[in-house]
Structure 1
Amino acid sequence: MEKGARHRNNTEKNYPGGSESQEADSGGGGVALKKEIGLVSACAIIVGNIIGSGIFVSPKGVLENAGSVGLALIIWIVTGVITAVGALCYAELGVTIPKSGGDYSYVKDIFGGLAGFLRLWIAVLVIYPTNQAVIALTFSNYVLQPLFPTCFPPESGLRLLAALCLLLLTWVNCSSVRWATRVQDIFTAGKLLALGLIIIMGVVQICKDFWRETLGGHGLDHAHFCRPVYIWRSQWVPLHLLPCISTLLMLVTSDIYTLINYVGFINYLFYGVTVAGQIVLRWKKPDINRPIKVSLLFPIIYLLFWAFLLVFSLWSEPVVCGIGLAIMVTGVPVYFLGIYWQHKPRCFNKFIELLTLVSQKMCVVVYPKEAEDLKMK
């Protein structure tokens, strides 16, 4: 399927409003995204990815389930140390395999196409939509809670406001990259301000000996609802619609902690697989250039903690974890039918080409021209 509608250098027509590269600069062909993201916006994207909604939601749940402030603090310290260990492992993988794609690129290069496809499959169908649903529900909860001071907001209201938030942000992303970057910048600044207020208020309450009340209250997550903004897409890209629709489906429940457990298990599963790939890569390619090289003790410690959390999650939430695993397994036949099976019948290939061509014409899209200098040599 190297020809026809699937060709990546398809420059059949330039559409107004799209994000196109200047053909004079690219040597006479190809459509690519404009470089419209500046330094501030790029930093805002990084901050938005690092500071998730968990810091605003999790402290209350951790304290409630831990039963004491001391145990909650120990849990936060231990998980912080383990996260730092995992970050060091990812740092080595990032400079050893300098490709865009994160976990997908690492898993695909180390374990093969099936593992990489399953990572991408579960990310598109479960991880990204669930993360966005958690953020949208948290935003709607903190917006509606002041209107219901003596009770919890109605579930229908929470879902409706969350859905409206998602639809609005999807429209912003599909309309203009510049608008999306401005929204990202504004709410990233608001997020940092909210974190600062939480820290300052916490210190003040500690001084007043109201520690328990401080941690038992709500966080300030109103600044974080813009997390679903994918500003690296161009205009007229229908791929905005897939995460939006998938996220709307996740709103069948308004229980934030159920969604967190749901996505946490699957996400952490592939974190462990990626870190295990670091050990495998050390064995398969011991002489590869590694600008950053950490001790093997770090991935081993991380994997031991990873295995404990997976077993505990399966024991405590078997249904939630089982649903995530079932969705992941559905990607296996898709991979073998769509990618691994090379010698497909001609009628099958013609149907896929026709379907792709019709989709491209309806959505006004083509494949972007790949930048050669970004490919791994």
Structure 2
Amino acid sequence: MARVSASESAVAPKTGFSESDQSKKITQTESSGDDVQLKKELGLLDGVAIIVGVIIGAGIFVSPKGVLLYSGSIGQAIIVWILSGILSMVGALCYAELGTMIPKSGGDYAYIGAAFGPLPAFLYLWVALLILVPTGNAITALTFAQYLLQPFWPTCDAPIEAVRLFAAVITCVLTVINCYNVKWVTRVTDTFTATKILALLLIVAFGVWHLFKGNTGYFEEPMKGSKTEPGYIALAFYSGLFSYSGWNYLNFVTEELRDPYKNLPRAICISMPVVTIVYVITNIAYFAVLSSEEVLASDAVAVTFANKMMGMFAWVMPLFVACSTFGSLNGAIFASSRLFFVGARNGHLPAAISLINVNCLTPIPSLIFMCVLTLVLLFIRDVYMLINYVSYVEALFTLISISGLLWMRQTNPDAKRPIKVNILVPLTYMLTCSFLVISSIYQEPFAVGIASLIILSGIPVYYVTIHRPIPLLTSISHNINMFCAKLFMCVANQEKFD
């Protein structure tokens, strides 16, 4: 891979927002003309580790409460966990077709853009910028800090200031690691993926031991109290799917995956069944030890489980949860920064975010930008209220992406599709997502309304900054771009979708 001096040849696009930027040529070396691009560092096992590592975060240790609350019974809760895993697998297979047909980083942003054009793609980028990515990263960081600090305040909650400060520190540390070396990122992800699997296996082992002792009373009437209203079913699935969220993150880094046509679908087909099986048996272990009342009364089911079953060794569970969220945050920072990198590369964000460091070959400005957004949300007191909007927005845009798959089969039937799933797969996912979106409108109209307004607010932003950019904003973007290129020793990268 060729390296160049930022001062000699890192002449970045002069505008960061206008559509004309999409025609700018990537900076090349004078000697060889090679493009400066993201390195293909990720193999099959790295891909599996990223998917499993991002999915298994704080969710499985705290979300069983939400699934049980809206399901109403242990039996229905377990069914929701199974179906949530199957639905995520169906969605992941659809994304395997999209990811191999459009082998670009950016995930939904790239697919929506290819199918429906720049405005819908920008709206996804806009809502990801304001809600999806920084909210998820902030909450994961806060969960990590809260569990790691809890042993120092055994009789009460850790001070919120200490939690926020520690969350900010760990976010910055992981950002530095992501800036420096992709291999370091994968090593951290691999290590902590193994740690979180060990934590879940520990829970399963104690649960099985408890069942073998004849403690099956909580399973005698598994369907008692089940809630069958569509709104409650949708909310139960939202809680379950929240724990599975991240199954599409490998699509964000397709350009850094070696042989993506083979490794992307293989990573999906290996990781999703593993996660589903682990989640289901972990929940069975929870429900074998804890009553429904105990689960609903706990904000951290895994810790309550440990306090009941592990005695003097219960302290290891908060440590395991912290390790789990640490690995999940690392994978999320890595993948989500590529989303904004690709958005900037296509002229939908300031061009500085699309720069690549010539030494590390990582999108340092994008990583720093993502870090700043996450830090801002760490210090907003009501950040957890945003969770109510995340599931609806994710379901809506996933629905749009799958619709794009079907649309492109009609409009571009001759496109190269190394993977082509049966038509029933995307149709099944579309119908299920439509049910979840419509039911959430009925059950949570206020949250859905606020999320919809945030999405629609991106339309005027698009026309002011991209479609017909204001010259002042264009000039500011160019100046920031040149400053970042010199400060971070970066050059421009220009691959994009049309």
| TM-score over 0.5 for the pair | yes
Q: Give distance in 2, aligned partners of 1:98 and 1:249.
A: 32
In structure 2, relative to structure 1, the CA distance for the partners of 1:96 and 1:136 (3 Å cut) is: same
1:285 and 2:412 are equivalent in the alignment = yes
1:223 aligns with 2:240: no
- What is the rounded CA distance, in whole Å, between the counterparts of 2:401 and 2:107 in structure 1? 10
Residues 290 and 43 from structure 1, CA distance in 2 versus in 1: closer, same or farther, beyond 3 angstroms? Answer: closer
For residue 20 of structure 1, what is the aligned residue in structure 2? none
Task: Give the superposition deviation at 1:270.
Answer: 0.7
Change (3 A) 1:368 1:279: closer
Task: Report how far residue 357 of structure 1 moved.
Answer: 1.8
Structure 1: how far apart are the matches of 2:72 and 2:45? 41
Pairing 1:238–2:358 present: no
Structure 1: how far apart are the matches of 2:40 and 2:96? 26
1:183 equivalent among 170, 181, 188: 188
Note closer, same or farther for the CA distance 1:92–1:362 as it changes in structure 2 (3 Å cut).
Answer: closer
1:134 aligns with 2:139: yes
* Runs of 5+ consecutive residues of structure 1 not aligned to the other structure: 13-22
Answering whether residue 9 of structure 2 is matched by residue 9 of structure 1, we say no
Q: Which moved more, 1:240-249 or 1:171-180?
A: 171-180
CA RMSD in angstroms, aligned pairs only: 3.4
Using the alignment, how far apart are the partners of 1:40 and 1:88 within structure 2?
A: 18
1:213 aligns with 2:255: no
Is the 1:158–1:254 Cα contact (8 Å) retained in structure 2?
no
Change (3 A) 1:349 1:335: same
| Whole-angstrom CA distance in 2 between matches of 1:289 and 1:368 | 24
Q: 1:198 aligns with which of 199, 203, 226?
A: 203
Aligned residue runs from structure 1 range 104-183, under 5 A: 104-183=109-188
| Letter of the structure 1 residue corresponding to residue 455 of structure 2 | M
| Residue 227 of structure 2: aligned partner | none
Greater mean deviation of Cα atoms: 133-142 or 285-294? 285-294
- Alpha-carbon shift at residue 111 of structure 1 (Å): 0.9
Distance 1:311 1:348 in 2: 38
1:48 Cα offset (Å): 2.1
Deviations 1:252-306 (A, max 9, x none): 4677864433322211211111111222223323454444433433333322321
Cα 1:315–1:98 change in 2 (3 A) is same
Q: 1:1-39 CA deviation, whole Å, 9 max, x = no partner? A: xx9531553369xxxxxxxxxx87xx2454344555566
For 2:123 and 2:467, locate their aligned partners in 1 and report how far apart those are by CA, in whole Å: 13
Q: Deviations over 1:211-239 (max 9, x none)?
A: 14188332642222233334587468122
TM-score under structure 1 normalisation?
0.79
Deviation (angstroms), 1:72: 0.9
Seen in structure 2, the aligned counterparts of structure 1 residues 297 and 167 have a Cα distance that, compared at 3 Å, is: same
**Structure 1 segment 28-177 matched on structure 2, within 5 A:** 28-34=33-39, 41-177=46-182
CA distance in 2 between partners of 1:179 and 1:85 (Å): 31
CA distance in 2, matches of 1:236, 1:93: 24
2:365 maps to amino acid: P
Q: State how far apart, in whole Å, the 2-side matches of 1:245 and 1:157 are.
A: 19
SS at match of 1:100: coil
In the alignment, what sits opposite 1:356? 481
Classify 1:106/1:119 alpha carbon distance in 2 versus 1 (closer, same or farther; 3 Å): same
Deviation at 1:142? Answer: 2.1
The yes-or-no answer on 1:366 pairing with 2:491 is: yes
Structure 2: unaligned runs, 5 residues or longer = 1-9, 14-23, 216-286, 296-300, 304-319, 339-355
Contact 1:5–1:354 (8 Å) recurs in 2: no
| Structure 1 pair 214–198 and aligned structure 2 pair: CA distance change class (3 A) | farther
Change (3 A) 1:9 1:195: same
- Identity rate of aligned residues, in percent? 43
1:161 is displaced (CA, Å) by: 2.5
In structure 1, the residue matched to 2:273 is none
In structure 1, what residue type is equivalent to 2:403? A
Per-residue CA deviations over 1:319-341 (Å, capped at 9, x if unaligned) read 44344333323322232233323
* 1:265 aligns to 2:392 (yes or no): yes
Larger CA deviation: 350-359 vs 189-198: 350-359
Structure 1 contact 41–181 (Cα < 8 Å) conserved: yes
| d(CA) in 2 for partners of 1:78, 1:351 | 49
User: Residue 366 of structure 1: CA displacement?
Assistant: 1.7
The count of aligned residue pairs is: 357
Deviation at 1:110, TM superposition (A): 0.8
The one-character-per-residue Cα deviations of 1:171-230 (angstroms, maximum 9, x if unpaired) are 332344444343223212212222322332332233342714188332642222233334
TM-score w.r.t. structure 2 length?
A: 0.62
1:226 corresponds to which letter in structure 2? G
Where 1:227 maps in the other structure, the secondary structure is helix
Pick closer, same or farther for the CA change 1:246–1:69 going to 2, 3 Å. same
| Structure number with higher relative contact order (C-alpha < 8 Å, ≥ 6 residues apart) | 2
